[in-house]
Chain A
Amino acid sequence: MIVAESSEFHSPGPGDFDFPPLFGEGTFFTKPILIIVLGTIAVGAFFYFAARRSTLVPGRLQFSGEAVYGFIRDGVARDTIGREGIKYVPYLVTLFGFIAVLNISGIIPVLQLPATSKIAIPLVLAIISWVIYNYVGIKRQGFGGYFKNMMFPPGVPKAIYPLLAPLEFFSTFLVRPVTLTLRLTFNMFAGHLVLLLTILGGEYLLFEYQGVAGIAAGSLSILFSIVLTFFEAFVQLLQAYVFVLLSAIYIGGALTHEH
């Protein structure tokens, strides 16, 4: 919270991502959890109403739902995984919708917090993707085959193996889920901080800091926050896409022997 009575500016920081329970001490229902619940309902409702009374010639809502579904189905699953990709479309579309909405919550008035800036959400999703791609890899290539193809990819000089094998192992089992988690979390975290900084800083300059300079700088800061909001919308959709695309690439890689 910004302390208003003193004319000091509290720069936003990690503390702004800590929310007290909404319904009193000791309950778990915080603002991020409210956003998760609302976002999940929103995604479910969007797709449900888009698919209800489905017709060959789609209405506007059905078209939107099919566009999102088709974008992930054809643009991600089929292009990166191939013909088998159709099996993973439900997961990938759900993933995309879930992440996109929980990102977009950062620029929705009143909510104004990307729930994915809370590391728990990206972590859960990264773990799910990690489990899926390792599972399909082992199922497809066998336990030994999966590790062998991963750590000792064919077509690489044998002298490289001592260096490559631990790297590949490390990459697949640790780096991939960690980068999935951190990329999404801190894109949202940083974006939210920048928005907070321009808005709260602008507000402080406009109302607390005296003089023309304060008004000019404050106005500029508020104006910039609006520009940044549009930029954030772009980043939020992009990061949802990146998370889904990487998950699809990992699944596709686990399904094929070639690296």
Chain B
Amino acid sequence: MAISMAPISVIAAEDGPSPLMPHTSELIVGLVAFALLFFFLRAKVFPIFERTYAERAASIEGGAKRAEEAQAEAQALLEQYRAQLADARSEAARIREDAKQQGATIIAQARDEAEAEAKRVATRAEAQLQAEREQVLRELRGEVGTLATTLAGKVVGESLDDDERSRRVVERFLADLESADAATLAGKDS
């Protein structure tokens, strides 16, 4: 099937005024409109934009500065805390060391005191014992003399009390006894 081609008749556009020729009314209206727009925007709008820009920049800068300051402050605080912590640690160590030393000193002192006390007690006890022993010996000696004389008198059947001779005998006996005692003591000590 053949496509029927209708004839296209193109009529060239009628010549209007040249597009290079400006219309006077458009020139005037364009100029006035542009001028009005320019002066209106320059007076009422653009200063506000500039002010907003400046404020925004200032606010951003201020914010950054504030953040910086806060960070510096935090850093300083951290340093301070760290220093305090270190101080506290060394303080604690020092106190512990002191306490250890003091404890040692106290223990040593107590030991010294206890030793001294023990020595003192021992010495005193020894001295007392010695004294008691000597007293007992002395008493015993007296008693022994009397007892022996009495016994001897009873054995002999007469009194020897006033006799010079009997007195001498007793004394000699006692002296012998004493030396025997001393020998026994010495043997015991060694």
Contact = CB atoms under 8 A, between A and B. Distances in A.
Contacts of A98: 33-34, 37
A37 interface: yes
Interface string A189-223: 10000000000000000000111111000000000
A211 B8 CA distance: 13
Interface in B9-64: 9-27, 29-31, 33-34, 36-38, 40-42, 44-46, 48-49, 51-53, 55-56, 59
A234 B31 CA distance: 26
B17 A18 contact: yes
B6 A7 contact: yes
A160 to B, nearest CB: 34
Nearest to B20: A119
B89 to A, nearest CB: 49
Contacts of A50: 45
Given A15-B16, A48-B45, A56-B59, A43 B37 contact: yes
Contacts of A121: 26, 30
B34 A94 contact: yes
A36 B49 CA distance: 25
A11 B10 CA distance: 7
A8 B12 CA distance: 10
B21 A69 contact: no
Interface size class of B (residues with CB under 8 A): 35 or more
A55 B56 CA distance: 9
B58 to A, nearest CB: 10
Contacts of A69: 46, 49
B3 interface: yes
Interface in A30-81: 30, 32-33, 36-37, 39-40, 43-44, 47-48, 50-51, 54-56, 58, 62, 65-66, 69-70
Given A12-B13, A33-B25, A90-B42, 17 more contacts: A8-B11, A11-B10, A13-B13, A15-B15, A36-B33, A39-B33, A40-B33, A51-B49, A58-B52, A65-B45, A66-B53, A94-B41, A118-B23, A119-B20, A120-B27, A123-B27, A211-B3
Interface of B: 3-6, 8-27, 29-31, 33-34, 36-38, 40-42, 44-46, 48-49, 51-53, 55-56, 59
Interface of A: 3, 7-18, 28, 30, 32-33, 36-37, 39-40, 43-44, 47-48, 50-51, 54-56, 58, 62, 65-66, 69-70, 89-91, 93-94, 97-98, 117-121, 123-125, 128, 185-186, 189, 209-214
